[in-house]
Amino acid sequence: MEFNVKFKDYSPATWQKINSTLENVLTEQKTPIAAFDADGTLWDIDLGETFFHYLIDHKKVRLPADPWTHYEELKKQSPTAAYLWLAQICEGQTLKNIHEWAKEALQGAHPVPVFGPQKQLVDLFISRGVQVYI
């Protein structure tokens, strides 16, 4: 993974606030959870679109003749409709297949340009027993 991509480090004051907030949460909750939107938050690529390109390139699911244009046109009309369409194109596939395809798509995206400060934040949470979801 590539780190420190286009992402400014947190200031010492922000790290102090993160740590004090984390301490408060840990005293109040047995199993705290942190959830992150991934694309543009943790790394500098859109993994959903990377996966979609993989599906197109490898003809893994039934798609319109020009799926990328179809997606872009939907997105112009309604981003929600476009994202819902993307969420449904794997309908009927096994979870095992989708996991395998996602791994293969990610291999083609290496190195994932992870933002260094975000990696530090996630590592901090994990080291303190926070369940992290992306």
Q: What pLDDT sits at residue 83?
A: 87
Distance of CA 16 to the CA centre of its chain: 26
In 3D, which of 118, 104, 101 has the Cα closest to residue 1?
118
pLDDT at residue number 122: 96
Q: What is the pLDDT of residues 12-67, one digit of tens each?
A: 999 999 999 999 999 999 899 999 987 778 888 888 888 888 999 999 999 999 99
Q: What is the pLDDT confidence band of residue 4, given thresholds at 50, 70 and 90? A: very low
CA atoms within 13 A on the CB side of 68: 10
pTM for this model (two decimals):
0.67
